[in-house]
Chains A and B, each alone.
Chain A
Amino acid sequence: MAAGRPPDDRGRRGSDVEEAALKARLRDLGERLTSLTPPPKGPEGSEAGMRGNPSNLARALRLSSEFIAGILLGIFIGWLVDYFTGWSPWGLIVFLMLGFVAGTLNAMRSAGLIRPQGE
């Protein structure tokens, strides 16, 4: 407690003065910390919607199904492209990656981290 205090502050002065100074310093530090901390990201509405969700399992299933849907679609389109053009395996490789990106986009949209489609 007394580590950062100059030595002549001790002694004659009353302990309540020290207490007040310490409180002022703590408050100052608190204010500086809050100004340095970045504000919470993401729209507030979606965050509130999540807290209203009664089951975390449901949330996990929701996000994973969004993500997996993108990958499955990528595999399907890639396979179709390979089948009809004979570019195998490039169609599968390219569209699997695109599907991965689309799945990530879906999951982030579902979590409310980025703006919805069409905006």
Chain B
Amino acid sequence: MAADPISQFEIKKIVTLGEIGGFEIAFTNSAAFMVAAVAITAGGLVLATAGRSLIPGRVQSVAEVTYEFVADMVKQATGDEGMRKFFPFVFTLFSFILVLNMLGMIPGFFTVTSHIAITAVLALLVFFVVLAVGIYKHGLKFFRLFVPSGIPIVIMPLIVLIEVMSFLSRPISHSVRLFANMLAGHITLKVFASFVVMLSSFGIVGWIGALLPLALTTSLIALEFLVAFLQAYVFAILTCIYLNDALHPGH
């Protein structure tokens, strides 16, 4: 077993598919987990809603609770208009990230969201959707987002420049937050868990001493489950907030 805390994030090729412009295109363990997440989400929801009973069973309840949770979030942040247009988008993002995070909590499994390449692409997707929707709906008025009211004309260029930079930095913080939380959490878990193994090799005293990191690891796992859910939620709610800016840039 690899003892260092970083090797769990290693990307391994499963099948090499070919080459495009000198870059090798391979089906990696990361891609495999993404396919698994999509299969779990789609298959699970189809299975859950297949019965369509009036009194929901266990699986159907989970699907309904998830739907209502995301629907409330979207409605609160973006209003009815956002609910009509963006619910599928936000629900897809939320369930995809949540399932990936939860899959990562299973020992030995790969955590896809601990790679910034994945989270950055997701955040950039949201960023460009916001930009496209904002310009499509409001035209050049969308750029009023960068012009705060009641600012003297003398310092206006500086303020607008800063506001534009603040807007451009959104996908960075959006992606870094998810990636950093997952990465840091999994490294911490691995480090504390390896303390247990190291200490227990020192005989009876080590066994007693290993109880402390063992207890810590156990509680950290509970915290990690919370973080896994919370980060999926945070990613989705931030998406909603940004989409709201695209729909109503004036206020």
A residues contacting B by CB (< 8 A) are 54-55, 58, 61-62, 65-66, 68-70, 72-74, 77, 98-99, 101-103, 105-106, 109, 117-119
Interface residues of B in 125-151 (CB under 8 A from A): 144-146, 148-149
Binds A, one of B9-17, B84-92, B173-181, B203-211: B173-181
In the complex, which of the residues A61, A77, A109 has the most CB atoms of chain B within 10 Å of its own CB atom? A61
Sorted from nearest, which 6 A-B pairs have the closest CB atoms?
Answer: A69-B173, A69-B172, A102-B165, A69-B169, A73-B169, A118-B145
In the complex, which residues of chain B have a beta carbon less than 8 angstroms from the beta carbon of A102?
Answer: 162-163, 165-166, 169
Assuming A102-B162, A118-B251, is B176 touching A68 (CB within 8 A)?
yes
Determine whether B156 belongs to the interface, using a CB cutoff of 8 Å to chain A: no
In the complex, which residues of chain A have a beta carbon less than 8 angstroms from the beta carbon of B223?
Answer: 55
Determine whether B249 belongs to the interface, using a CB cutoff of 8 Å to chain A: yes
A58 touches B165 (CB 8 A): no
Interface residues of B in 207-251 (CB under 8 A from A): 223, 226-227, 230, 234, 245, 249-251
The smallest C-beta distance from A100 to any residue of chain B, in angstroms, reads 10
A79 to B98, CA, bound (A): 36
A7 to B237, CA, bound (A): 67
A72 to B230, CA, bound (A): 25
**From A99, which residue of chain B is reached at the shortest CB distance?**
B165
**From A70, which residue of chain B is reached at the shortest CB distance?**
B169
Determine whether B26 belongs to the interface, using a CB cutoff of 8 Å to chain A: no
Determine whether B39 belongs to the interface, using a CB cutoff of 8 Å to chain A: no
